[in-house]
Structure 1
Amino acid sequence: MSSTPQHRSAGQLRDAIGDQVVPCVAQPALFFAPDDSSRNGERPAARELRERSARTLCASCPAKGLCLELARLERPAYGIWGGFTATEITNSKREAA
């Protein structure tokens, strides 16, 4: 088995991420939109600030590559993963195909 992230299973990636000190554990609200029951949801300016803050934390995260590879395998519907939104990850998989 190769030690490069792209050759690991989702479970192996989760374990490897769990072995790291990652900023998303301490600040999960930055990485996922709030559960807002209002009709309007998260305001665009608030989303932009939240996502920018999450990307900044991802930039120096030791598990960034592992996290991104996990997201590419699991195709999450939302959130920031390895510095990218779920939509960006989905679009990059389509472009690569």
Structure 2
Amino acid sequence: MTRFVDFNLKLAVVEELMYGDSPKLAQWSLEDTLRAQGFGGDLWEYSADTYWDQIVPEARTYFENLELSPALLATVEQLIFDGACQIYFECCPH
């Protein structure tokens, strides 16, 4: 497994691999994950009320544990650092 020293860099890489124009990984959804755990409330309110200054723990755990092979990483040609990226919404919806 490739180890990332910077979690933010890993998020940018995962954005390209999971949510980019040519995704190579199945998309992960915080909302789907929470609903599977029995959460039935408003995702925006949940994250704003409880995790207003941090990544929702389920998202952090998922993305930290996501293994990316060197072969998969070799397919990444560009990284986009933009607050509108889907990965940031999955980490902190508000």
After TM superposition, the score normalised by the length of structure 2 is: 0.32
Instruction: From the two aligned structures, give the one with the greater helix fraction.
Output: 1
Whichever of the two has the greater Rg, that structure is 1
With a CA cutoff of 8 Å and minimum separation of 6, indicate the structure with the bigger relative contact order.
2
